[in-house]
Structure 1
Amino acid sequence: MKQLSQIYLLLLLVTGVTGCTTIGYYSQAVSGHLSLMMNGDSVDGLIARGTTPDDLKQKLTTSQQARRFARDALSLPVGDAFTDYVALDRPWVVVNLVAVPEFSLEPHRWCYPVLGCQAYRGYFELDDAVAEQADFRETGYDTFIGGVTAYSTLGWFDDPLHSGFTRMSDDRMVALMFHELAHRVVYIGDDTAFNESFATAVELEGLKLWSDRQGNPDSFQRAFERLQQRNQTLALVETTTTRLESLYQQRDRLPVETLREQKAELLAQLLQDYLELSSQWTQPGPFGENPTSLNNANLALFRQYNQHVPGFRQLLRDQNHDFEAFYRAVEALSKRPETERSRRLSALSERFVEDF
């Protein structure tokens, strides 16, 4: 009954929004999530079923151990999330569109009832995302479409586990579960960077603790390598974005052709530096294997997920790794104005020293 009442609420929100395009978008979002919920099987039932393949049974068993760990060790509000399993016919559950003006690093924001404004727009069908991408490209925006393995409904629904999770290695599956559950703790409608950086910090610190408890240092070593890759990539991106921001501040004074030429040079240098750096890595990096180009949208998306991570991790240290106290501190910070939040997180980041 809880799920059905929430679906009815979302449908009311959809029909209360004017504009055919907007109604069409919300309709696909509701029908897409409803399809996930209606096609799920009980994880416990699948584990007990003799016909469930052994490799899937192992993944499902690990997922339930991770659920309990998230609740008991990380104080995450698990509820009934990840208790159903859905087999998907694709590696991603949704695709996200990011659109950024040609001479800016501030992404376009889409605003939604209840959820507020976000710097990306999710679609269950790739063709729908491509159609909206084409509209933005016609007006000169840089765009990016990326597959998303999971998303959170912030506790409004009992989010299912699905084959996008179980196709991952155990450590990546567990980390992603922690990330999505963290969104249930604190969510600011108009601050994607705050939300995603917080969830990423919980993901990293939670996985470290999980690996320690599991007695599996090799698992965390892989995660630590990915963290190093992310930090190294972030350093490159921050250097480039500083230069791009300086360039874009001159957009009223420089000819468009000059802006485009200098922008292209900075992005080409970033791509070259990233390819040289990632050639030494044993796992795919944040921009994937051998990307052929980068643009404002790639940079904006990457920064959304990473720019405040050190600050949140330092805040957890300041609470002596007490997750409940950490969440209270994050919730208090979330109530402050955006400029104050960013300033506070920047100050925390300056104190942070990696200890993994």
Structure 2
Amino acid sequence: MKQLSQIYLLLLLVTMLNGCSTIGYYSQAVSGHIALMMSGEPVEEVLSDNTTPQGLREQLALAQQAREFAAQRLALPVGGAFSDYVQLERPWVVVNLVAVPEFSLEPHRWCYPVLGCQAYRGYFSLDDARAEEANFLNNGFDTFIGGVTAYSTLGWFDDPLHTGFTRLAEDRMVALMFHELAHRVVYIADDTAFNESFATAVELEGLRLWLSEEGKPGQFREALGRLARRNQTLALVEDFSARLEVLYAQADSLPDQHLRNRKAAILEDLALAYQELSAGWPEPGPFGPAPVSLNNANLALFRQYNQHVPAFRQMLRNADYDFPAFYQAVEALSEKPEPRRSEYLAALSQRFEEHL
């Protein structure tokens, strides 16, 4: 009955929207999410089915333990999330399209009910994403389409487990569950850096506690290693983004072809710097294995994530790892104007020191 009421809510949302293109987009989003919800089976039934492969059985059992840990230890609002399982026939659940003008690092923004404006648009169909991408390419935009392992409906619906989770290594699956559940706690329209940094902080600290209780602290050091490599990449991207911004500021005074040539040279230098940086890493970095091809869209998307992770981890430390108190502090911060939020988080980031 609850699943049907959620479907009615989705359909009602579509009927409230105006414009053919808007209805077309939301129709695919609603039909895609309904298909995902309707194809789910209760995890308990999958576990009790003798034909369920042993590897999947172990992952689902672990996911149920992580779900309970999230509710009890991390005080996350689990509700009915991850109580169903969906077998996907593709490696991603949705794909996101990012589009950025040729001489800018400010992405195009799509605005949605409740969610506010975001610098990406999600599609359940790759063909639909490519059709929208073609419109931007025809207008000279840089674009990027990337597969998304999981997404959160912010507690509006009971998000299922699916193969995007269960195909991951155990620690990464648990971390992703904590991350998506954290989006149910607080969400600010139009502030992706705040939302994603908060969820990543909960993911990391939740994983640290989980692995400590499981007697596997070494795996947390691996997670920190991945975070360190992402931060190194972010520092590199910020350096080259600053160079691009200086160039793009001259768009009104320089010929387009000169701008294109200089832009291409800067992006090529960034790709080479990334290749050199990642040469000794034990696994591919955030942009994948080198050599890579980068554009404004890649950079704009990457810069939005992880910016405030140290600050939120420091906030949790200040709360003596009392998660409900931490969430209250984050909610209070979310109500402040964006400049004050960013200033406060920047100061906290300077104070954070990694766990030894």
Kindly provide the amino acid, as one letter, of the partner of residue 226 in structure 1. Answer: R
Aligned match of 1:288: 288
What does the per-residue CA deviation read over 1:152-181, in whole Å, with 9 as the maximum and x for residues that have no partner? 011111000001111110011111111100
Aligned match of 2:301: 301
- Alignment of 1:39 with 2:39, yes or no, is yes
Question: Are the counterparts in 1 of residues 274 and 290 from structure 2 also a CA contact under 8 Å?
Answer: no
Rounded Cα–Cα distance in structure 1 between residues aligned with 2:135 and 2:58: 44
Aligned match of 2:48: 48
Aligned match of 1:165: 165
Aligned match of 2:68: 68
What does the per-residue CA deviation read over 1:240-299, in whole Å, with 9 as the maximum and x for residues that have no partner? 122222222222233322322222222111111111121211122111112431111111
Aligned match of 2:91: 91
Task: Provide the identity percentage.
Answer: 70
Shift, 1:88, TM fit: 0.4
Q: Which runs of 5+ in 1 are unaligned?
A: none
Determine helix, strand or coil for the equivalent of 1:11. helix
Distance change (3 Å), C-alpha of 1:319 and 1:249? farther
Kindly provide the amino acid, as one letter, of the partner of residue 347 in structure 1. Answer: A
Kindly provide the amino acid, as one letter, of the partner of residue 306 in structure 1. Answer: N
Shift, 1:115, TM fit: 1.7
Shift, 1:78, TM fit: 0.6
- Alignment of 1:276 with 2:276, yes or no, is yes
| 1:66-145 alignment runs, 5 A limit | 66-145=66-145
What does the per-residue CA deviation read over 1:115-137, in whole Å, with 9 as the maximum and x for residues that have no partner? 21111100000000011111111
Shift, 1:74, TM fit: 1.1
Rounded Cα–Cα distance in structure 2 between residues aligned with 1:308 and 1:296: 22
Aligned match of 1:204: 204
Determine helix, strand or coil for the equivalent of 2:28. helix
Aligned match of 2:14: 14
Aligned match of 2:355: 355
Rounded Cα–Cα distance in structure 2 between residues aligned with 1:353 and 1:266: 33
What does the per-residue CA deviation read over 1:61-96, in whole Å, with 9 as the maximum and x for residues that have no partner? 110111011111111111110010000001100000
Question: Are the counterparts in 1 of residues 272 and 291 from structure 2 also a CA contact under 8 Å?
Answer: no
Aligned match of 1:28: 28
Determine helix, strand or coil for the equivalent of 2:98. strand
Rounded Cα–Cα distance in structure 2 between residues aligned with 1:219 and 1:301: 28
Rounded Cα–Cα distance in structure 2 between residues aligned with 1:270 and 1:317: 35
Q: Which runs of 5+ in 2 are unaligned?
A: none
Determine helix, strand or coil for the equivalent of 1:108. coil
Determine helix, strand or coil for the equivalent of 2:106. coil
What does the per-residue CA deviation read over 1:183-224, in whole Å, with 9 as the maximum and x for residues that have no partner? 000011211121111111111111111111111134223312
Rounded Cα–Cα distance in structure 1 between residues aligned with 2:2 and 2:109: 30
- Alignment of 1:266 with 2:266, yes or no, is yes
Kindly provide the amino acid, as one letter, of the partner of residue 82 in structure 1. Answer: F
Question: Are the counterparts in 1 of residues 102 and 140 from structure 2 also a CA contact under 8 Å?
Answer: yes
Rounded Cα–Cα distance in structure 2 between residues aligned with 1:264 and 1:209: 45
Comparing 189-198 and 76-85, the one that deviates more = 189-198
Rounded Cα–Cα distance in structure 2 between residues aligned with 1:157 and 1:291: 40
Kindly provide the amino acid, as one letter, of the partner of residue 281 in structure 1. Answer: W
Aligned match of 1:154: 154
Kindly provide the amino acid, as one letter, of the partner of residue 194 in structure 1. Answer: F
Rounded Cα–Cα distance in structure 2 between residues aligned with 1:259 and 1:200: 36
Aligned match of 2:191: 191
What does the per-residue CA deviation read over 1:23-77, in whole Å, with 9 as the maximum and x for residues that have no partner? 0110111111111111111111222222211111000011011101111111111
Comparing 96-105 and 174-183, the one that deviates more = 96-105
Aligned match of 2:321: 321
Rounded Cα–Cα distance in structure 2 between residues aligned with 1:126 and 1:204: 31
Question: Are the counterparts in 1 of residues 208 and 217 from structure 2 also a CA contact under 8 Å?
Answer: no
Kindly provide the amino acid, as one letter, of the partner of residue 9 in structure 2. Answer: L
Rounded Cα–Cα distance in structure 2 between residues aligned with 1:146 and 1:44: 32
Number of paired residues? 356
Question: Are the counterparts in 1 of residues 240 and 270 from structure 2 also a CA contact under 8 Å?
Answer: yes
CA RMSD of aligned residues (A): 1.4
Comparing 60-69 and 247-256, the one that deviates more = 247-256
Determine helix, strand or coil for the equivalent of 2:304. helix
Rounded Cα–Cα distance in structure 1 between residues aligned with 2:159 and 2:349: 32
What does the per-residue CA deviation read over 1:319-340, in whole Å, with 9 as the maximum and x for residues that have no partner? 2222211111111111111222
Kindly provide the amino acid, as one letter, of the partner of residue 279 in structure 1. Answer: A
Rounded Cα–Cα distance in structure 2 between residues aligned with 1:76 and 1:186: 11
Comparing 141-150 and 97-106, the one that deviates more = 97-106
Rounded Cα–Cα distance in structure 2 between residues aligned with 1:136 and 1:346: 34
Kindly provide the amino acid, as one letter, of the partner of residue 211 in structure 2. Answer: S
TM-score if structure 1 supplies the norm length? 0.96
Distance change (3 Å), C-alpha of 1:124 and 1:269? same
